[in-house]
């Protein structure tokens, strides 16, 4: 995992998601990232999918609940241009975050690093804004 911090955009997978979301100019990429997490069911949820979904949830929370996000200034106009997320997308974001926290490779990696509480603390504002 190419990560340099516990924040929602502090890893390579989140950066890729953000770039794709900006290029698409709509919520399709975010919805696909939530669906990738939720389609795993009780199976093994890989870290890249989790990281991308967390970044997508942060953007949804930013647009829906005014969550302050720290994104590249070059991406800010494209994020600002996104329409308000639908109630269905917001619910998928909530469900994806719950699934990631419950059982995922990403949660295990943060636990193994002795920083799971720090990581969970970065998810709380996202959840509260959703």
Tell me the pLDDT tens digit for each residue of 48-82. Answer: 999 999 999 999 999 998 888 988 899 999 999 99
Contact 106, 87 (CB under 8 A): no
- pLDDT for 55 equals 96
Domain boundaries, the chain: 12-67+74-129
Helices 105-112 and 47-65, axial angle in degrees (round to 10) = 100
Whole-model pTM: value is 0.95
Asked whether residue 127 carries a pLDDT value surpassing 80, the answer given is yes
What share of the chain in percent tops pLDDT 90? 83
- pLDDT for 60 equals 97
Query: Which residues contact residue 56 at a Cβ distance below 8 angstroms, ignoring those fewer than 6 apart?
Result: 17, 21, 29, 30, 33, 34, 93, 96
């Amino acid at each position: 995992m190419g990560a340099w911090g516990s924040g929602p955009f502090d890893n390579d997978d989140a950066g890729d998601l953000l770039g794709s979301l900006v290029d698409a100019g709509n919520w399709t990429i975010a919805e696909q990232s939530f669906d990738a997490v939720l389609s795993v069911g009780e199976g093994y949820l890989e870290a890249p999918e989790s990281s991308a979904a967390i970044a997508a949830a942060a953007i949804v929370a930013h647009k829906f609940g005014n969550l302050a996000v720290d994104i590249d200034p070059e991406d800010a106009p494209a994020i600002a241009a996104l329409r308000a997320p639908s109630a269905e997308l917001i619910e998928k974001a909530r469900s994806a975050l719950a699934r990631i926290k419950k059982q995922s490779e990403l949660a295990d990696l943060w636990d193994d690093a002795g920083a799971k509480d720090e990581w969970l603390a970065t998810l709380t504002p996202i959840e509260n804004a959703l």
